[in-house]
Chain A
Amino acid sequence: MIPAEPPGGSYDPGSFRDPASRVFFADDDSVRRVLSTAGASDWESVARSEAFGRWMAAGDVVSTEELEHDGLTILLHERIPVWTYPYEWTFSMMQEAALLQLRLLDEALDEGLTFKDATPYNVQFWGSKPVFIDVGSIRPWEEGEPWLGYRQFCQLFLYPLLLRAHAATPFQPLLRGSLDGISAETARSFLRGSKVFKPGALADVVLHARAERSSRHRNVRDELGSAGFTRAMIQTNVRRLRKVVEKTTWQPSDSAWSEYAACDHVAGGQRESKAAFVEKVASEQRRRLVWDLGSNDGHHSRIVRSHADSVVAVDGDEWVLDRLYRALRSEDDRTITPLVMNLADPSPSLGWRGVERRRLEDRGSPDLVLALAVIHHLVVGANLPLTDVVDWLASLGAEVILEWVPPDDPLVVTLAANKKAAEIHSDYREDVLRALLGERFILVDEQPLDGRVLLRLQPLS
């Protein structure tokens, strides 16, 4: 049994489903895991395996060491600096996480181990590198047992990828809407006609949906075992799935791409002076965590990277972030993590009791926030009151570099093209902004930028 209270600290509100293992944050802020008797016995086999040591050395699985505490088995995990959820990942991040899960399972089976589940919530990103964090998910494989995580793998890894690639459907809103993921039946409804011939669609979606509909409540686990189900059969399936995931690629429509290429942050003339201002501020001191809001292609995240432990590049445009992610991955970057999110509709607290998955603000406070060419999207584009936006920025308690984009800026005019003047907040003015900022921040420095202006702000308190 897992104790009702952890030995010092508090349980992670998102860790409670597995009766054999539970994560807690200790009083010294370290991340620990307490194991039940059964969990401890599984862990013994895992710790002894050759694969587990290899995975930790390669950074594929979070660094873990065993501690003893009054007869309880406690594991100490290395803390992953930035926490993201699958509904905030880009296509390629999901794909990398899926391939990691499949490879680990394949290698585990070689040594007689398996995974209890197969959920992307067990993967976090250290910069661009996916890291498997749920050590409690690994246990010895039992003779005759199928892969219990196959259904979950489909619902939370495979169907999101297939829907994005073949049905032009972003998976993030679907995963945010259901923490259990996309059912086979739902995936089937997206993949009609010739799409059923895409890799994985026929077997993992069509047949899977049919199987789920027509075979309920049978003790099929025992039946399969008696009929001679082997781990080699799981491996055949897992290797097939690896090929399916590798072959599944996403290319958005031409129009989406040309829209991006026409954006001013790519071709804009002020790109260099803006970059120099950011570099100057960033290089003054080392930051633990930087948020780059409206990061676009990650130009400023990359500038800040050498002066920070971690950078979160937040943007609502999945395609731009996916390109950034693939570039970072090829550089083996361990600092910048892309995060797909519309700032006007951010990730809420979700799940059981509303705390299983946390909002971004509750996952670590930034010490520097870049809000470059983003304010007009919030106030003019999403109609958030300017006061609210400034209030929110101040609530982060961080130093901020804010770029003011005036109402007559061509980009703002474009954003407002389909709105009447009366439908836009009339306080979107530089004098109003400065007055609001003056009540909440100290203006440390500023730099005009051809009609726009860069403001360096330090929180008052």
Chain B
Amino acid sequence: MTPLLAYIDAGTGSMIIQALLGGFAGLAVFFKTRGRRFFRRAEPKASERTDA
């Protein structure tokens, strides 16, 4: 993907949640990106990620 021109902080959580709010197709994207993680209190440590 080409680098996008963005000068505001879109917010990681704010982007993930858009998949949740994007209808049924969005839900699939949400779970594909493992967005369900955000239901946890904190981001898992890098060492815990196997697919990062």
Interface of A with B (CB < 8 Å)? 17-20, 38, 42, 116-117, 139, 142-152, 154, 203, 207-208, 210-218, 220-225, 227-230, 232-234, 236-237, 240
Q: Are B8 and A116 in contact (CB under 8 A)?
A: yes
User: CB < 8 Å: which of B10, B22, B40 contacts A221?
Assistant: B10
A residues within 8 A CB of B8? Answer: 17, 116-117, 148-149, 151-152
Instruction: Mark out the residues of chain B between 1 and 52 whose CB falls within 8 Å of any chain A CB in the assembled complex.
Output: 1-2, 4-23, 25-26, 28-29, 32-33, 35, 37-43
B residues within 8 A CB of A18? Answer: 7
Complex alpha-carbon distance, A229 and B32, angstroms = 10
B residues within 8 A CB of A218? Answer: 12, 43
B residues within 8 A CB of A222? Answer: 1
B residues within 8 A CB of A240? Answer: 21
Q: Are A210 and B39 in contact (CB under 8 A)?
A: yes
Please give the distance in Å from A247's CB to the nearest CB on chain B. Answer: 16
Knowing A208-B17, A221-B15, A228-B29, say if A214 contacts B42 (CB, 8 Å).
Answer: yes
B residues within 8 A CB of A233? Answer: 18-19, 22-23, 25-26, 29
Q: Are B14 and A221 in contact (CB under 8 A)?
A: no
Interface of B with A (CB < 8 Å)? 1-2, 4-23, 25-26, 28-29, 32-33, 35, 37-43
B residues within 8 A CB of A230? Answer: 22, 25
Could you list 20 A-B pairs, sorted by A, with CB under 8 Å? Answer: A18-B7, A20-B5, A42-B5, A148-B6, A148-B8, A150-B10, A210-B38, A215-B13, A218-B43, A221-B1, A221-B4, A224-B19, A227-B29, A228-B28, A229-B18, A230-B25, A232-B22, A233-B18, A234-B22, A236-B23
B residues within 8 A CB of A223? Answer: 33
Q: Are B38 and A214 in contact (CB under 8 A)?
A: yes
B residues within 8 A CB of A227? Answer: 19, 28-29, 32-33
User: CB < 8 Å: which of A144, A212, A228 contacts B14?
Assistant: A212
Q: Are B16 and A220 in contact (CB under 8 A)?
A: yes
User: CB < 8 Å: which of B10, B12, B26 contacts A236?
Assistant: B26
User: CB < 8 Å: which of A139, A143, A147, A221 contacts B5?
Assistant: A139
Complex alpha-carbon distance, A203 and B22, angstroms = 12
Complex alpha-carbon distance, A220 and B4, angstroms = 13
Q: Are B10 and A146 in contact (CB under 8 A)?
A: yes
Please give the distance in Å from A36's CB to the nearest CB on chain B. Answer: 9
Complex alpha-carbon distance, A237 and B39, angstroms = 20
Complex alpha-carbon distance, A339 and B1, angstroms = 45
Please give the distance in Å from A14's CB to the nearest CB on chain B. Answer: 15
Please give the distance in Å from B33's CB to the nearest CB on chain A. Answer: 5
B residues within 8 A CB of A229? Answer: 18-19, 22, 26, 29
Knowing A215-B38, A237-B21, say if A150 contacts B14 (CB, 8 Å).
Answer: yes
Q: Are A207 and B20 in contact (CB under 8 A)?
A: yes
Complex alpha-carbon distance, A119 and B2, angstroms = 25
Q: Are B33 and A224 in contact (CB under 8 A)?
A: yes
Please give the distance in Å from A162's CB to the nearest CB on chain B. Answer: 16
Kindly name the residue among B9, B22, B32 whose own CB sees the greatest number of chain A CB atoms within 10 A.
B22
A residues within 8 A CB of B38? Answer: 210-211, 214-215
Kindly name the residue among A146, A211, A236 whose own CB sees the greatest number of chain B CB atoms within 10 A.
A211
Which 4 residue pairs spanning A and B have beta carbons closest together? A233-B22, A211-B13, A151-B14, A212-B13
* B44 nearest CB neighbor, chain A only: A214
A residues within 8 A CB of B35? Answer: 215
